[in-house]
Structure 1
């Protein structure tokens, strides 16, 4: 029997005993494949545009600008979570709303009437599983304890939402249990997908290629080095790179770039381009004269400090996964696999050859060839910081999943007073605290 799918106005997720605390504003009963496609599209459209906030939280940029703009952003940069000044917020209810849509599709799409030759029930169902996995993965990396193979079976993760049941109680699953579910959803999604690669106009939808790329990322975070390496290596022949040495390369993080694999979420914001400047920790990672990315991504501001052009308000900045990340996954994972050190160096050099001026590339290539595995890992992480700067929350997630270093930010506030803030090594704030409203409405989330 078909379930009634509510078109919802979402207020607070995980009230004490509810799946969702919602106010129904209408209802439809999807019966056809095209109607379920529309329902899943609503789920895709729900994905939050929040990752620019993680650029402030990491060691990349610091807020500047007007008093109001500075006041709304500085708490993100100094890890002051749940501040009353925050006008924006890290997402909590919206990812679960996307999961709600995915679960609605999963529950009933295979009973739908086929009314189109352009889409299949299996493809839509596969995408729904992958969207659910993607949202759980995002939430885990925001609010779950960073993955540690020795403690993941007991570390707190996030609640899993796997069915529509307003009576069930929601508590936090362990980090390992969440990963197990993510992998199960990825596997089921891949089994069902029928589209090898989506057309450029609908790259927000999962395909076999983007599903494999997403799995490679998750395997890397889960420290499954050989699995991550193999997945990335399988993808590389289909992952062209923008050649910045040609003088005509497109921004590789633009949805029109041939590097784009999945374009699901808008990660840029005018808050980045108008109200931030680079921190030395990011600027000093570049050789500004010889790295084409520096001039492409940053500009010298009126105050003599570099400011981002990358990550600004641009609807084309929606690339969630792209070719360069696959090269970096292949390189990082290979360092950890016995006998693959030279392969790791090759993958890194293949990326750098398209990003650096020729003479500097040859110099860097020689240096990389001499590196030990430990030195190469440091270089790969620095390269991820350069290549993926301000993009998709990568830097914050990389800091979390690796050594969680001390971060010291010295900055000038809106009153021209020098301030400083410190995130200690392994600081508990590497895990973002749950929203106060969520824990008040569902005390079980505190356990």
Structure 2
């Protein structure tokens, strides 16, 4: 799993272990740099887009869209070795950075250590949501998760831990990071690095997935005052998902790709969630082409690397509060605060009045739909949301590259809501099984 990893990226041949703070900073930077930009593939897997039938892209992309995992046609794959490579870098820092010689006043051993804990947690969380069973509090102690890698041991036989064990390790790493981080918030030039603010935002996401509603709510509420929203109703705004946006909290991995904007079209299940006239995101995210809607959001632009942003914090605050007794009005307020800067003013007033009349159950449905609208095509959110909630049936009707109609179905609670371990992993490690 880790045989391709070594320290030679940051040390000359013959020197194996970094010795100075600046060298450990270079090592953890190598970890950040290695994080895979795969999440556009999850937009294909979800109910968002389908390959457009291009002779170039269709064979490479269709198997992702119809849940045909480990197909021989896949020229790309969901990440496996790469996240564990990142974890290897993080483990290397965790093991030795506190013994490093201090050779700079611009960085600290404690900050680098905290970032390493969080990077390890972030990778384990991603892997779990790809290849582990969705979190279920009644079965998490026995449900299969993914192998945990918390030490450098190339000879270790890596077997899957349970979902509970993986979450326990993630929370342990977040707690360890919170004890040592020294940077409150990263400047724009290093927003890919974790800080106290992005650590709290990441933890809010994890607590939400773990169904710790009150903890998730409190974490998100604590971030709202420092999480401004772009106002799409004004003439002066930056794309909320752009690294230059004031909404950016963590800018780690690229989630867009040229394939998305050049070779896919929107599925009706996504289009129907919007009021195309009054929702200001619709024409920002999508455009009409040959009587179809295609993405403009998430194209080949290095500025689309926002892993966590302010709007997600409002959505976490709303969803979590809707689950907490006595917090229904607060949940409605958080949702309205977000959509007020996303909708035409008259339409906002109409939607706000409807939200005010919703029950908790109705509000949770609306928040799920709002997450689909706000975070469309972005960061794998929709696929992860589908699998962490009710895992509904998805039907995709589309035109093949040969001009024929095809229909594929992902059944409710389908086993393919958990992606199969890659063949490269199962063939090289007999301890893995699907």
* TM-score range for the pair, normalised by the shorter chain length: over 0.9
Query: 2:392 matched to 1:410?
Result: no
Counterpart Cα distance in 2 of 1:165 and 1:304: 55
Counterpart Cα distance in 2 of 1:71 and 1:201: 38
| 8 Å contact from structure 2 (residues 5, 88) kept in 1 | no
Query: 2:142 matched to 1:154?
Result: yes
Query: 2:236 matched to 1:248?
Result: yes
Residue 97 of structure 1 corresponds to 85
Aligned-residue offset at 1:169: 1.5
Counterpart Cα distance in 1 of 2:65 and 2:239: 26
Aligned-residue offset at 1:166: 2.0
Q: How does 1:33-112 map to 2 (within 5 A)?
A: 33-112=21-100
Counterpart Cα distance in 1 of 2:73 and 2:364: 38
Counterpart Cα distance in 2 of 1:383 and 1:27: 54
| 8 Å contact from structure 1 (residues 65, 274) kept in 2 | no
Query: 2:368 matched to 1:386?
Result: no
Aligned-residue offset at 1:66: 2.4
Counterpart Cα distance in 2 of 1:313 and 1:273: 8
Query: 2:302 matched to 1:315?
Result: yes
Aligned-residue offset at 1:68: 2.7
Counterpart Cα distance in 1 of 2:140 and 2:75: 33
Counterpart Cα distance in 1 of 2:282 and 2:177: 38
Residue 336 of structure 2 corresponds to 349
**What SS does the aligned partner of 2:391 have?**
coil
Query: 2:104 matched to 1:122?
Result: no
Counterpart Cα distance in 1 of 2:332 and 2:309: 20
Counterpart Cα distance in 2 of 1:372 and 1:119: 49
Of 164-173 and 153-162, more deviation after overlay is shown by: 164-173
| 8 Å contact from structure 2 (residues 53, 400) kept in 1 | no
The alignment's C-alpha RMSD in Å is 1.0
Counterpart Cα distance in 1 of 2:109 and 2:426: 37
**What SS does the aligned partner of 2:233 have?**
helix
| 8 Å contact from structure 1 (residues 241, 323) kept in 2 | yes
Kindly provide the CA deviation profile for residues 139-163 of structure 1, in whole angstroms up to 9, marking residues without a partner as x: 0000000000100000000000001
Residue 5 of structure 1 corresponds to none
Counterpart Cα distance in 2 of 1:300 and 1:147: 38
Counterpart Cα distance in 2 of 1:280 and 1:208: 40
**What SS does the aligned partner of 1:422 have?**
strand
Query: 2:325 matched to 1:338?
Result: yes
- Runs (4 or more) in structure 1 with deviation over 6 Å come to none
Aligned-residue offset at 1:22: 3.3
Of 121-130 and 243-252, more deviation after overlay is shown by: 243-252
Residue 16 of structure 1 corresponds to none
Residue 258 of structure 2 corresponds to 270
Counterpart Cα distance in 1 of 2:93 and 2:53: 44
Unmatched segments (≥5 aa) in structure 2: none
Q: TM-score, normalised by structure 1?
A: 0.95
Counterpart Cα distance in 1 of 2:398 and 2:299: 21
Residue 189 of structure 1 corresponds to 177
Aligned-residue offset at 1:248: 1.9
Unmatched segments (≥5 aa) in structure 1: 1-12, 14-19
Q: TM-score, normalised by structure 2?
A: 0.97
Counterpart Cα distance in 1 of 2:157 and 2:41: 30
Counterpart Cα distance in 1 of 2:417 and 2:56: 26
Query: 2:116 matched to 1:134?
Result: no
| 8 Å contact from structure 1 (residues 69, 275) kept in 2 | yes
Matched length: 428
Counterpart Cα distance in 1 of 2:331 and 2:59: 43
Q: 2:19 aligns with which of 31, 51, 57?
A: 31
Aligned-residue offset at 1:168: 1.9
Counterpart Cα distance in 2 of 1:420 and 1:230: 43
| 8 Å contact from structure 2 (residues 5, 85) kept in 1 | no
**What SS does the aligned partner of 1:191 have?**
helix
Kindly provide the CA deviation profile for residues 29-61 of structure 1, in whole angstroms up to 9, marking residues without a partner as x: 311000000000000001000000000000000
| 8 Å contact from structure 1 (residues 34, 115) kept in 2 | yes
**What SS does the aligned partner of 2:4 have?**
strand
**What SS does the aligned partner of 1:244 have?**
coil
Aligned-residue offset at 1:187: 0.5
Aligned-residue offset at 1:165: 1.3
Residues 27 and 299 of structure 1, relative CA distance in 2, 3 Å threshold: farther
Residue 151 of structure 2 corresponds to 163
Residue 4 of structure 1 corresponds to none
